[in-house]
Structure 1
Amino acid sequence: MKFLPAFLHFLTTSAMAPNITRPNPAIPLTPPTLPPPGASSNAQEIIKQLLSLTRSNIGSKLKLVKKIPLEGDVWEPEGLVRLAGSSPEEERFWISAGEYTRPTIKYPDGWRDGSDRQNGAGFAHFLVFDGNGKRVGDWVVTEKGKGEYHNGGVEFDGRFIWGCLAEYRPGGTASVVKVDVERLEVEKVFRVGDHLGAVVRDGRRLVTLNWGGRRGRIWDLGKVERRDGQVVMKDGEGGFDEPEEVVTNPSHWIDYQDCKFLGEWQGRSVMLCSGIATLGDGVEVGGLAFVDTRSLVPVWEVPFMRRTESGVLMTKNPMDVGVVDGRVRLWFAPEEGRGAVYVFEVGEGA
């Protein structure tokens, strides 16, 4: 193996100011102290309480406790990270979103070169809100004309947000990025010849999922090196980076939209994923799943059919999970345009 030229793998804002709009620059984009990851730091309690949900009781036991309208346009939200604070004013929601300026166009004769459509155009954003939904930042992280403008699912590891910038179509290309939320810097860590829509960090490994979560790639972060301040990784066939392993999702229940790493459970390393599937004739289903990060085998699944007032399934777009006052909470932001964060809590008892 050889190294790709470093300029293909490096994007940073250190040389220029980030393209960010802040209504009040005095309001910080993070809590005073960065919290631990909400999912993995509470993994066993999250697993325990979510396992109490079944197809028959989820409608009554997973309760909506709060709706937080979000200020301004959220375009299409794709990933959500909640940074816990001591108050709603200190709490932060980081939402990855795509602003689309030219739509994708389906090929009239079906699939070509691994995709069913032409790429469109747009911009990738990170939107930042406080716990009341007040907009405190809008960071545009791609430039005009860049093909990888779809900002997918995200994961917070206690220091960085990991995300995916991709062409907005199956196949295509994508880059995994590491976002420094305090210094406002973005680094491209590696690049693949496929769409990427979600990423989780499992210790020294990253797991990325392609369009609909149909295929997973497992990456060894130990192979990422720094040379002269630039991030480079060993490359593979076709000039794209080569993962340690590629696995196929054996489940055809839902297409995963956003995932969060939990930890070890029953000898497996698991993540929580949410998503939807269209089964034909307008029938949509939503659901949650614990998924083995190495094999993509779901080890627990439950349907979740709750919708917003406008009829959108809660699990259509991003999700985060954590524990507040001893109870597991799930945060969803399913709606495009003028959206909201919907906060659900697992109730006690059967």
Structure 2
Amino acid sequence: MFRRSLRPVLIALLFLLPDFSTAASSARPDGIEAARLLDTLHLDGELFHVQGLAMTATRIWVTSVDRGSRRGYLHEFERSTGRFLRRLELTDGARYHPGGISVAGGSIWIPVAEMRPDSSADLVQIDADTFRIRRRVSFPDHLGCVAIAGDRLIAGNWDSRLFYVFDLTGQQRTRVVRNPSATHYQDMKFVDGVLVAGGDRGLFSGTVDWIDWPSMTVARTLRAGAIGPVRPFGRGGPYTGEGMTIEGRDLYVVPEDGPSRVFRFRLDA
């Protein structure tokens, strides 16, 4: 009984020891493999547990979930300064968990799900200019991230164990594919004919994967370490554990809960 009562305390102390994360990092890079950190941008305004990231030339969008109040949000920032612009609540009853997001054709696509596996979700299409909801499509599983592939939507369920492929209305499911990787993808983007997906493999590590389309096989993997202090004791986690987007050779990630920063990495050729 005494040993059992001590176990949770000892586990907590291990997480708090500074050398613990160093020891755990021996099999992973400190940042992102084959990538160089260029800069960071602080995001003003109130953010909670970050989930997804999308960007245009002038705007940054981030989704986050306030687990205490069971509410989910889409936040908009000015890209050049990180200045907060506006926020849209996405909560729909038990569905309050917004996930990884994608932008296409003037719309922001966001899955908003119950915060548990094997549950339900809405695929929400939002006008990027007006912040008005254009469409909300219900689906009988948790959806945690979404990417736009031409005339197709690709959505991952809890930990992206499965990928669902829909037509662009989000209403007709055309295909179901098992995750070809052990990574729990949290955010993904369709770039130059390839699905680029980032996620975690645990508290201290994650990957960014390039997945061929439509075969859905992993063509390239970059390992990622963690930024500390690591959740649940801090606000950090694996660099690729939450919001992620990519532009050319620049990879952007938001690994911290609020207050948050956008980290910009330059990938090797």
TMscore range, shorter length: 0.7 to 0.9
State TM-score, norm by structure 2.
Answer: 0.80
| Structure 2 partner of 1:20 | none
Distance of 2:198 and 2:213 partners within structure 1: 14
| Structure 2 partner of 1:110 | none
Pair 1:286–1:101, CA change in 2 (3 A): same
Cα pair 1:175 1:188 within 8 Å, conserved: no
Q: 1:163 offset after TM fit, Å?
A: 1.2
Matched, 1:274 2:198: yes
Q: 1:347 offset after TM fit, Å?
A: 5.2
Q: 1:285 offset after TM fit, Å?
A: 1.7
- For residue 225 of structure 2, the aligned residue among 300, 305, 317 is 305
Q: 1:297 offset after TM fit, Å?
A: 2.1
Query: What one-letter code is carried by the residue in structure 2 that aligns with 1:65?
Result: L
Matched, 1:262 2:191: yes
Q: 1:295 offset after TM fit, Å?
A: 4.3
Q: 1:276 offset after TM fit, Å?
A: 0.6
The secondary structure found in structure 2 opposite 1:212 is: helix
Q: 1:309 offset after TM fit, Å?
A: 6.5
| Structure 1 partner of 2:204 | 284
| Structure 2 partner of 1:11 | none
Pair 1:60–1:257, CA change in 2 (3 A): closer
| Structure 2 partner of 1:329 | 250
Q: 1:197 offset after TM fit, Å?
A: 0.6
| Structure 2 partner of 1:199 | 146
Distance of 2:228 and 2:122 partners within structure 1: 32
| Structure 1: segments with no counterpart, 5+ residues | 1-54, 85-90, 103-121, 225-231, 234-241, 265-269
Cα pair 1:218 1:294 within 8 Å, conserved: no
| Structure 2 partner of 1:92 | 59
Distance of 1:277 and 1:337 partners within structure 2: 22
Query: What one-letter code is carried by the residue in structure 2 that aligns with 1:79?
Result: G
Cα pair 1:261 1:272 within 8 Å, conserved: yes
Distance of 2:155 and 2:32 partners within structure 1: 31
Query: What one-letter code is carried by the residue in structure 1 that aligns with 2:91?
Result: T
| Structure 2 partner of 1:344 | 265
State TM-score, norm by structure 1.
Answer: 0.62
Cα pair 1:258 1:274 within 8 Å, conserved: yes
1:224-278 deviation per Cα after TM superposition (whole angstroms, max 9, x unaligned): 4xxxxxxx94xxxxxxxx51121111322x11110000133xxxxx210011112
Pair 1:181–1:59, CA change in 2 (3 A): closer
Query: What one-letter code is carried by the residue in structure 2 that aligns with 1:165?
Result: V
Distance of 2:35 and 2:123 partners within structure 1: 33
| Structure 2 partner of 1:166 | 113
Pair 1:168–1:305, CA change in 2 (3 A): same
Q: 1:189 offset after TM fit, Å?
A: 4.2
Distance of 2:201 and 2:239 partners within structure 1: 12
- Cα RMSD between the aligned structures? 2.4
Distance of 2:32 and 2:152 partners within structure 1: 35
Equivalences for residues 75-154 of structure 1 within 5 A: 75-84=48-57, 91-101=58-68, 122-131=70-79, 132-142=81-91, 146-154=93-101
Query: What one-letter code is carried by the residue in structure 1 that aligns with 2:83?
Result: K
Query: What one-letter code is carried by the residue in structure 2 that aligns with 1:72?
Result: G
Pair 1:59–1:318, CA change in 2 (3 A): closer
| Structure 2 partner of 1:4 | none
Pair 1:322–1:194, CA change in 2 (3 A): same
Cα pair 1:207 1:218 within 8 Å, conserved: yes
Cα pair 1:62 1:344 within 8 Å, conserved: yes
Query: What one-letter code is carried by the residue in structure 1 that aligns with 2:206?
Result: G
Q: How many residues align?
A: 236
The secondary structure found in structure 2 opposite 1:72 is: coil
Cα pair 2:205 2:226 within 8 Å, conserved: no
| Structure 1 partner of 2:104 | 157
Distance of 2:155 and 2:167 partners within structure 1: 12
Query: What one-letter code is carried by the residue in structure 2 that aligns with 1:271?
Result: L
Distance of 1:59 and 1:247 partners within structure 2: 27
* Greater Rg by CA: 1
Pair 1:285–1:60, CA change in 2 (3 A): closer
Q: Once the two structures are aligned, what percentage of the paired residues are identical?
A: 27
Equivalences for residues 7-26 of structure 1 within 5 A: none
| Structure 2: segments with no counterpart, 5+ residues | 1-27, 231-235
Cα pair 1:164 1:196 within 8 Å, conserved: yes
Pair 1:127–1:169, CA change in 2 (3 A): same
